[in-house]
Amino acid sequence: MYPITRKLFLYHVVLLAGSSTQFVEARTIYKGTVSLSYMARLYSMKVFTSGKKVILENKYNKLEFETNSRRSWINGVMVWLHHPCRKSSAGWGLQEVDFKTGFDPILRSYAYVPKDTPRLVVIDPGHGGKDPGATGKNKVLEKEVVLDISSRVKKHLESKKIAVRLTRTGDTYPTLDQRNDYARKVGADLFISIHADGVESPDAHGVETFITTATGCDSSNHYGQAGDKTAQRNNQFDPANAILGFSIQSNLVKMSKRSDRGLRRARFSVIKKASCPSALVECGFLTNPAEESLLNSVSYRENVARGISNGILGYFTLVKRGRKQR
Ligand SMILES: [Zn+2]
């Protein structure tokens, strides 16, 4: 990690897909905000506006910011900000927390990933036993769907020689704390909880990935719950969570072909208490008739499992690349 003063720090910049190393002196953080023009300099991107969006782009990456909004996109994948992109005397900018726990880790992962390759991934199929989770009109149960998807993720990762354990392998209900305790006991290096969504409206649809909300900030889940804003155990992994969550959401959208609800923030119990980088994946809405029938099909479950597995494998690749670039 780099020593960071509030107003001025030096960066070694290696762009995500680039091989060139540049040294950029950037006065990036000023009064708690990071202007988009500074980010453009830092990442060697050109900046321009298009309608309500400010866009930063180079030949490898494209960042889009919706002005006065919490929505942004990295290479077309939605990333929810903790705070809206706002205009100040320095132009359009982000809050420091969104730069430090979101954009910079995702764009310069090598500077943030742990130095050791993860050894053990714990997959947590949500709900189970007495708790069916969300239920569709045709009685497709979340607890059954997510156990099947989780088992498929395990199989794919094991085929790449990655050790995987599940928090449940049958129709049982470990409590949320028992799931975290299990992951800690077996020495999990990554903890991924797998769910399917359910809300009142049958219209809601799409896939989303949650990571722990940064300390002091509001969440961005669709229940609108802000929760306790104090520091959580998992907040020590904020940058790694962003790298992992973005990799999963990108691959999940690609493989599921469902609409992208984004990389979001929430203080769900199983992720905020995780003792390692963690994400919670929502694989579609059982309350949406079209997605219920997809979630009931083997081919969709397999595609979702491939998306999640590819996302986890992408994180492994970034850890290895980070070691080489340090
Ligand atoms: Zn659930």
Alpha-carbon distance of 201 to 71, in angstroms, equals 22
Over pLDDT 90: what percentage of the chain?
83
Q: How far is the CA of 70 from the centre of ligand 1 (A)?
A: 24
Classify domain 120-325 by CATH number.
Answer: 3.40.630.40
Alpha-carbon distance of 158 to 180, in angstroms, equals 22
Classify domain 9-107 by CATH number.
Answer: 3.30.457.10
Q: pLDDT tens, 206-221? A: 999 999 999 989 887 6
Q: pLDDT tens, 19-40? A: 333 333 345 667 789 999 999 9
pLDDT at 149: 98
Q: How far is the CA of 231 from the centre of ligand 1 (A)?
A: 24
Tell me the two tokens of residue 87. Answer: 């205009």
Q: pLDDT tens, 244-268? A: 999 999 999 999 999 999 999 999 9
Q: How far is the CA of 142 from the centre of ligand 1 (A)?
A: 7
190-197 vs 278-285, strand pairing mode: parallel
Q: How far is the CA of 146 from the centre of ligand 1 (A)?
A: 9
Please list, in sequence order, all residues whose beta carbon lies within 8 angstroms of the beta carbon of residue 298, skipping any fewer than 6 positions away: none
**Domains of the chain, residue spans:** 9-107, 120-325
pLDDT band at 295 (very low <50, low <70, confident <90, very high): very high
Q: pLDDT tens, 99-156? A: 999 999 999 999 999 999 999 999 999 999 999 999 999 999 999 999 999 999 999 9
Q: How far is the CA of 143 from the centre of ligand 1 (A)?
A: 8
SS3 (DSSP) at 190: strand
Whole-number average pLDDT of the chain? 90
Please list, in sequence order, all residues whose beta carbon lies within 8 angstroms of the beta carbon of residue 273, skipping any fewer than 6 positions away: 176, 177, 180, 232, 233, 234
Q: How far is the CA of 195 from the centre of ligand 1 (A)?
A: 4
pLDDT at 179: 98
Q: How far is the CA of 274 from the centre of ligand 1 (A)?
A: 17
Q: Are 10 and 3 in contact (CB under 8 A)?
A: no
pLDDT band at 89 (very low <50, low <70, confident <90, very high): confident
